[in-house]
Amino acid sequence: MNANNHNSKINSEKNKEKTRKKIREADSSRITVIPADEEINFYEDTSPKNVALYARVSTDSDKQTSSYEMQQKYYSKLISSHEGWKLVDIYADEGISGTSLKRRDSFNRMIEDCKQGKIDLIVTKTVSRFSRNILDCISCVRDLAALKPPVGVFFETESIYTLKPGSEMSLSFLATLAQEESRNRSAAMETSLKMRFSDGMFLTPSSLGYDKDDDGNLIINHKEAATVRLIFYMYLSGLSTETIAERLNTLNRYTKIGNDKWSTGSILGILKNERFYGAIHGWKTYTPNFLDHKSIKNRGKRPRYLDEDHHEPIISRDDYIAVQKMIANAKYGGNTYLPKLKVTSKGALRGFVSVNPHWGAFTAEDYKKASASVSEN
């Protein structure tokens, strides 16, 4: 051991001995203890509080509507019967998921009222009613607790009061369970869709040109079908989606929901819908994240299911394919009628196909088929 280490060890022992001596000789008789305010039991607290009720159900079903009304009735009675509590408002979101704060207008309005000092306490049924997203749940109660004065949340079923020390651990655990339950529900729904689509049981909401019979089958609505055919034929004749929308507005043609105002987006949506040639394509879009519910195009991340003879067509399959070619070509600035591929039928270049520089909608498979058509003769 060198001299520096030896001296350091000696100094350390001296400091430890000084600390021990200081503790032994401390005189507590000179200290006056001023006790902290006694913590008031949440259930016995009768101090005045402006209380908000938050209720939420995730679907618009009759069963959920009953639950929604019962939540409001029960907790309104609970708040009015508690001494010192005054009901500020009932903040309720119906048919809204708890995994995201988006579109939960009443919830967000309630949080804003808390920030403005209108609310001292939020009462809700369970953690899952408040939020099914652990990050949203914990960050929200922390933000509320940090307000001046702080705002607490009382979850009645779990008997958790967020301003009580030590409550966050229990809340985090229960919020995690609520989030995991939503994830499992999402996975179960996806499995159910796979089973339905693989058996040909597609989701078929009514669309322009079609109604549904008592068995849920798509049947042609001939009055609306005339508008669908007009849209396809005008586009095949070279009119733009903007011009078609203007023409339909002038003709007072109606959408499925009875709107007489057409846009380029609504026209394009009809032109790209395979249902009008009698087909149905399942799982064209999907939701990869159950927390944000954002739907994206299925580009091979999920299986897709196609039935090309699902119901009676309004237009021919050939017309539909031609329109898709024209739409694809429009992406490249083309606005021409459908062209033909020029195939060399004789000589050394027999079977060769000229690349059409003005038409971007031809695929490699189109050129192969054109070449094969000559070699087969």
Specify if 2 maps to a domain: no
Which residues fall within 8 angstroms of residue 287, CB to CB, at 6 or more apart?
186, 293, 294, 295, 296
Number of domains in the chain: 3
pLDDT at 366: 74
Per residue in 94-135, pLDDT tens?
766 645 666 788 999 999 999 999 999 999 988 888 887 888
Task: Say whether both 251 and 135 belong to one domain.
Answer: no
Domain at 87, CATH number = 3.40.50.1390
User: Residues 346, 334: contact at Cβ < 8 Å?
Assistant: no
Task: Say whether both 131 and 109 belong to one domain.
Answer: yes
Q: What is the mean pLDDT of residues 78-82?
A: 85
Specify if 267 maps to a domain: yes
Specify if 200 maps to a domain: no
Specify if 34 maps to a domain: no
Task: Say whether both 298 and 343 belong to one domain.
Answer: no
Specify if 154 maps to a domain: yes
- Average pLDDT of every residue of the chain: 81
* % of the chain surpassing 70 pLDDT: 79
Task: Say whether both 351 and 299 belong to one domain.
Answer: no
Task: Say whether both 69 and 162 belong to one domain.
Answer: yes
Per residue in 43-65, pLDDT tens?
677 889 999 999 887 655 555 56
Per residue in 266-320, pLDDT tens?
999 999 999 999 888 777 776 666 556 677 787 777 777 788 888 899 999 989 9
Specify if 236 maps to a domain: yes
Q: Which residues of 27-41 are buried (b: 16+ CB within 10 A; e: fewer)?
A: eeeeeeeeeeeeeee
**What is the distance between the alpha carbons of residues 152 and 47, in angstroms, rounded to a whole number?**
14
Specify if 164 maps to a domain: yes
pTM, full prediction: 0.53
Of 315, 316, 357, 318, the C-alpha closest to 339 is 357
Task: Say whether both 175 and 150 belong to one domain.
Answer: yes
Beta-bridge mates of residue 297 = 285
Domain at 248, CATH number = 3.90.1750.20
The CA R_g of the chain, rounded to the nearest whole Å, is: 34
Specify if 308 maps to a domain: yes
Task: Say whether both 59 and 146 belong to one domain.
Answer: yes
Per residue in 317-348, pLDDT tens?
989 988 988 888 776 655 555 566 666 777 66
Which structural domain range is residue 267 located in? 210-330
